[in-house]
A and B are shown apart, each in its own frame.
Chain A
């Protein structure tokens, strides 16, 4: 078959489609978004009726995926690293129940935090849940791992975690695709049906089963073609290279390695090959993008065993992504750069688009808050987080999806006045609704601004589960109709917006204002489409 030029994300999507996928359940998040988008725009996926609507959040996504797997079909669920925190309850317990139809969970990690609030390494979740983890070193491996992964998942009866990082997700390369497989028919597993009922009596049995499975997972790693031991060159220093770190290692040895090398792309760790490597050298340098997961495992907490180098001993930086350059330094080679960056350079931070509705909301809010020196504004994850930067400097927090509303409640209950939350529409339905219910039940003195641009903007304009529903949701949760306002955030409505904000700050209870104007980016895209 023909080679296609695909992003790592797209290679994963194409592989899933080719492997007989029936559904993708995801919530947008950089750098994972393009996987689901690719399936949504694939004509083959449409032809095969692959379900591909965005979910409200990552937890609903993984649970829905488990339901599809329960019914025997192949399913994938994709999210950014912090999304797996939201889905963690479901994820950890799919390891207890196991699966029926092949199930792959994709975690797209973001070391160096290009678009994220932390750089957690979700291989840790693999260890935590005792599940196999795959970490491709290139786009072709990403394709192959997903293509073969569903069958493995079905054979093992467990889900698989595929861990990629930004550079794999958002880098393009030629990928050889394979034959399209038929989709699974619906079939309920009659073998041990009680495994999905995680009552303690069943859970205890299932946990023993999961523990008993660990040897099989490890042996699969030892026999995996994705893990390779190169012992042609003997040297005192051996190298372990995980995932894309292997590329950076290769880059620095274009004519072949000068060290014994173990490439790792499938976990749990291949013990046999690690023993062989350890026997062949005096010290081991671990190259891994993200946390020192393997390094810590090899070293042990007291460091009394092997001589292990990596991020913990300063051979590599403790934080930030790997590059061919920091790997080169760790290998003891010089990095030569004939030109340096000139002193005149200034940063160019991202900014809210000109004409964006969030701008008008912040303008009005800032104007009113001049009258309230004690005001604290708790915000959330989305484009409107850029309100933290000049010229607005309008917010005081951004922690996790939904934290604006709940933090505002906690602060109000500690005595902050006015305590204000600013959250986007998609973030509100992702994780803000339950916090709003807490506010209503406690009659917290908070003003909640749901800045509605009718899309999931920051990730490029995916459908928002909230569109057209926010007023009904707020009313249903119990916000009093007199303190629930809609307004169009435009210059001509400034005075009205300011009056509403002022009035609702002064109301001692839960108020919700919903400034609603479509994202100018998605609006422009629609206009363009209609013209064609």
Chain B
């Protein structure tokens, strides 16, 4: 068993904490993992990505080879498309639907969505909207993780534990808020696939 995941977004959206939750969960599940992150200059409003590799055998490369990612999880619709060359033919893209427009030449969103129409496997959700409705407006990234959890080789309860460990320092209510967001994301992810 091996799952290769690209996490994508814009600096400051919460991609790295999302990666950290999955990483903690995988390690707790006794799995091998490697997760390459981007720090430094690229965090300031630039594109951010993380390569996350989970396996029941030791993982060699820190980077995912082209054409091998099983999953792209993205907090921004155009950013997900940047990593399409990494996606394998049966891979899924799970993305937030709303563009993050901090550049003057962002393409028309309709053009972005046209690319999605050509992809065989995708889940497109407005996770910010869902998070707002939950009363936890800052946990859109964890809603997205909940939706993507259906494609992860990790027990849902392990993800919940991952959230407890990663957000534990920030207090009980932050943990509770994120657990709620994870649950909601899972529910909606389910509905998206089966309807």
Task: List residues of chain A with CB under 8 Å of any chain B CB.
Answer: 3, 5, 7, 30-31, 33-34, 114-115, 167-168, 170-174, 244, 247-248, 250-251, 254, 323-325, 328, 335-342, 344-353, 383, 386, 390, 458-460, 532
Task: Assess A5 versus B27: contact at CB under 8 Å? Given A337-B67, A341-B81, A350-B44.
Answer: yes
Contact status A344-B112, CB under 8 Å: yes
Q: Chain A's nearest CB lies how many Å from the CB of B173?
A: 11
Contact status A174-B62, CB under 8 Å: no
- 30 A/B residue pairs, CB under 8 Å, sorted by A: A172-B36, A173-B32, A173-B34, A174-B32, A247-B61, A251-B61, A254-B60, A324-B63, A324-B64, A324-B65, A325-B65, A325-B66, A342-B115, A344-B81, A344-B112, A345-B78, A345-B81, A345-B82, A345-B107, A346-B78, A346-B106, A348-B79, A348-B103, A349-B46, A350-B11, A350-B42, A350-B44, A383-B44, A458-B41, A460-B39
Q: Chain A's nearest CB lies how many Å from the CB of B8?
A: 11
Contact status A172-B87, CB under 8 Å: no
Task: Assess A346 versus B103: contact at CB under 8 Å? Given A30-B39, A171-B34.
Answer: yes
CB-CB under 8 A from A336, the residues of chain B are 66-67
Task: List residues of chain B with CB under 8 Å of any chain A CB.
Answer: 10-11, 23-24, 27, 32-47, 59-67, 78-79, 81-82, 84-89, 102-107, 111-112, 115, 119, 171
A-B pairs, top 6 by smallest CB distance, nearest first, are A30-B40, A115-B40, A350-B46, A250-B60, A251-B61, A171-B62
User: Within the complex, which residue of B62, B104, B106 is in contact with A168, where a contact is CB–CB below 8 Å?
Assistant: B62
CA distance A171 to B64 in the complex (A): 12
CB-CB under 8 A from A254, the residues of chain B are 60
Q: A30-B41, A344-B115, A348-B102 are in contact. List 17 more A-B contacts (CB 8 A).
A: A5-B33, A31-B39, A33-B39, A172-B33, A172-B34, A172-B36, A173-B33, A174-B33, A335-B66, A338-B87, A341-B81, A346-B78, A348-B46, A348-B47, A350-B11, A351-B46, A459-B40
Interface centre among B11, B37, B112, B171 (most CB of A within 10 A): B37
User: Within the complex, which residue of A114, A340, A347 is in contact with B84, where a contact is CB–CB below 8 Å?
Assistant: A340
CA distance A250 to B24 in the complex (A): 25
CA distance A114 to B11 in the complex (A): 14
Contact status B63-A115, CB under 8 Å: no
CA distance A351 to B23 in the complex (A): 29
Contact status A344-B34, CB under 8 Å: no
Contact status B61-A324, CB under 8 Å: yes
Contact status B103-A323, CB under 8 Å: no
CB-CB under 8 A from A5, the residues of chain B are 23-24, 27, 33
Task: Assess A350 versus B111: contact at CB under 8 Å? Given A168-B62, A173-B33, A340-B85.
Answer: no
CA distance A60 to B37 in the complex (A): 30
Interface centre among B61, B78, B171 (most CB of A within 10 A): B61
Contact status B85-A337, CB under 8 Å: yes
Contact status A351-B44, CB under 8 Å: yes
CA distance A250 to B37 in the complex (A): 21
Interface centre among B46, B106, B119 (most CB of A within 10 A): B46
Contact status B81-A172, CB under 8 Å: no
Contact status A344-B44, CB under 8 Å: no
CA distance A346 to B10 in the complex (A): 13
Contact status B67-A171, CB under 8 Å: no
Q: Chain B's nearest CB lies how many Å from the CB of A528?
A: 9
CB-CB under 8 A from B37, the residues of chain A are 7, 170-172
CA distance A251 to B39 in the complex (A): 24
Contact status B84-A173, CB under 8 Å: no
CA distance A171 to B62 in the complex (A): 7
CA distance A390 to B103 in the complex (A): 10
User: Within the complex, which residue of B27, B36, B44, B85 is in contact with A170, where a contact is CB–CB below 8 Å?
Assistant: B36
User: Within the complex, which residue of A167, A338, A348 is in contact with B88, where a contact is CB–CB below 8 Å?
Assistant: A338
Contact status B87-A350, CB under 8 Å: no
Contact status B44-A386, CB under 8 Å: yes
CA distance A155 to B138 in the complex (A): 53
Task: Assess A171 versus B66: contact at CB under 8 Å? Given A114-B40, A342-B84.
Answer: no
Q: Chain A's nearest CB lies how many Å from the CB of B95?
A: 14
User: Within the complex, which residue of B46, B105, B171 is in contact with A346, where a contact is CB–CB below 8 Å?
Assistant: B105
Contact status B171-A532, CB under 8 Å: yes
User: Within the complex, which residue of B36, B42, B84, B105 is in contact with A341, where a contact is CB–CB below 8 Å?
Assistant: B84
CB-CB under 8 A from A386, the residues of chain B are 44
Contact status B36-A167, CB under 8 Å: yes
User: Within the complex, which residue of B41, B64, B107 is in contact with A114, where a contact is CB–CB below 8 Å?
Assistant: B41
Contact status B45-A350, CB under 8 Å: yes
CA distance A459 to B40 in the complex (A): 6
CB-CB under 8 A from A390, the residues of chain B are 104
CB-CB under 8 A from B112, the residues of chain A are 344
Contact status A351-B82, CB under 8 Å: no
CB-CB under 8 A from B61, the residues of chain A are 247-248, 250-251, 324
CB-CB under 8 A from A338, the residues of chain B are 67, 87-89
CA distance A349 to B86 in the complex (A): 21
Contact status B40-A31, CB under 8 Å: yes
CA distance A33 to B37 in the complex (A): 14
CA distance A464 to B45 in the complex (A): 23
CB-CB under 8 A from A34, the residues of chain B are 39
- Report the nearest B residue to A386, measured CB to CB: B44
CB-CB under 8 A from A7, the residues of chain B are 37
Q: Chain B's nearest CB lies how many Å from the CB of A351?
A: 4
CB-CB under 8 A from A247, the residues of chain B are 60-62
Q: Chain B's nearest CB lies how many Å from the CB of A120?
A: 17
